[in-house]
Structure 1
Amino acid sequence: MCTGKCTLCIAIALYPLVLLSIICNILLFFPDWDIKYAKKGYLTTEVNYMGGFIGGGLLMFFSIGFAAVGAAGAVYSFIVALLGLFNGPLCKDKSGTWKTPFKDSHDSYLNDYKTWALCEEPTNVVQFNMGLFLALMVTSCLQGLLCASQMINGLFGCLCGTSNEEKD
């Protein structure tokens, strides 16, 4: 087993996932593709936690040297995305009030698309948040698996040594 080549493969696989996490987190700041919601502070609370940017992005870059940090970042990104998905978006309802209408609901809004009409502004914010938070969850799972593989690879490298010899 060549742990050096395995490390390189894991690092290469992490880069697009890091970029996807950062992009998803940035896009969450622009529901309805408009900056006015970010300017006025009308964003879902979990967007401000920046799980995709910090956990799936910055901490994941550190994982190349510290796989445990990357795994922790993946867990953080996953939890924030899960909370964002579970609580639902911050939106303006029919009465003109900005709130998170699905947060304390006993029923899940995810399967009941008729309740999505509770959010009038930003347009299609439920689908927007769902798509990006789900993308962050999938990305963080893949990142967590890659970081766990890197930790196992590092353990084998420590116990068995690395095989960096080149063949002629």
Structure 2
Amino acid sequence: MCTGGCAKCLGGTLIPLMVFGILANILLFFPGGKVVDNNEYLSKEVWYFGGILGSGLLMLLPALAFLGLRNNDCCGCCGNEGCGKRFAMFTSTIFAVVGFLGAGYSFVVSAVSISRGPKCLMNNNTLGYPFHNGDYLSDEALWSKCVQPENVVSWNLTLFSILLVIGGVQMILCAIQVVNGLLGTLCGDCQCCGCCGGDGPV
């Protein structure tokens, strides 16, 4: 596959992942699927906006950059047809690194939150984090330590797990584009857009 076509495919995959990441992070503001009057019930990691910033907004520029590469004008510069395309591929590599860091941020925040567990009202009527080092992941009986909000453990675990997977997939896709972008920078795309009268390889 041409490097530009590969980048477009990656960009098209990043868009829905980005949307799902933002939605998952928004839903975390409604623990247990309910509106809470007191923001103190929200886990600290929710406010880090891993899905909205990391897997969301920071992923928008790379996704759009990747999608635009296939239609990039490769008429070139300084008499070199491939110059424009190569520069675009090099730029996409920089965007891919930004996307990788954003996805990595979301991945780390999600992993920390899953290990720590949700913040909730406990049996002793205090608000805090009743779980330690992910012990609740292997023992569902411990979930009863959380009294309010109702179902907050399964809610947070599900949504942060979704963000963890999304962040991991996005990191892989951005890493692929780093390699793809470097190949495109060094070798050019497999075909020129033809605007300079050339339809063959760059």
In 1, Cα distance between equivalents of 2:59 and 2:185? 22
**Aligned equivalent of 2:70:** none
Secondary structure of the residue that 2:55 maps to in structure 1?
Answer: helix
> Percent identity between the aligned chains?
43
Task: Kindly indicate whether the alpha-carbon contact (under 8 Å) linking 2:3 and 2:183 is maintained by their aligned counterparts in 1.
Answer: yes
**Aligned equivalent of 1:30:** 30
Instruction: Write out aligned runs for 1:80-159 (5 A).
Output: 80-102=109-131, 105=132, 108-159=135-186
State the structure with more CA Rg: 2
In 2, Cα distance between equivalents of 1:80 and 1:4? 32
| Structure 1 position 162, deviation (Å) | 1.2
Q: Structure 2: which 5+ residue stretches go unaligned?
A: 66-94, 194-198
Task: Kindly indicate whether the alpha-carbon contact (under 8 Å) linking 2:33 and 2:155 is maintained by their aligned counterparts in 1.
Answer: no
Matched, 1:67 2:66: no
Matched, 1:51 2:46: no
In 1, Cα distance between equivalents of 2:30 and 2:191? 47
Number of residue-to-residue matches in the alignment: 164
In 2, Cα distance between equivalents of 1:165 and 1:106? 54
Matched, 1:14 2:43: no
Secondary structure of the residue that 1:36 maps to in structure 2?
Answer: coil
In 1, Cα distance between equivalents of 2:127 and 2:62? 38
In 1, Cα distance between equivalents of 2:192 and 2:134? 59
**Aligned equivalent of 2:90:** none
In 2, Cα distance between equivalents of 1:9 and 1:110? 36
The normalised TM-score by structure 2 is: 0.77
In 2, Cα distance between equivalents of 1:12 and 1:52? 18
In 2, Cα distance between equivalents of 1:107 and 1:146? 28
In 1, Cα distance between equivalents of 2:43 and 2:61? 27
Task: Kindly indicate whether the alpha-carbon contact (under 8 Å) linking 2:114 and 2:134 is maintained by their aligned counterparts in 1.
Answer: no
The residue type equivalent to 2:160 in the other structure is F
In 1, Cα distance between equivalents of 2:133 and 2:56? 33
| Structure 1 position 34, deviation (Å) | 2.0
**Aligned equivalent of 2:83:** none
Secondary structure of the residue that 2:147 maps to in structure 1?
Answer: coil
CA RMSD between the two structures: 1.5
Deviation string for 1:76-106 (max 9, x for gaps)? 000000011011000001122111111xx35
Deviation string for 1:34-85 (max 9, x for gaps)? 2225x43310110110111110001111223400000001110000000110
- Greater shift, 106-115 or 75-84, is seen at 106-115
The normalised TM-score by structure 1 is: 0.92
- Greater shift, 59-68 or 158-167, is seen at 158-167
Rate the CA distance shift 1:155–1:112 in 2: closer, same or farther, 3 A. Answer: same
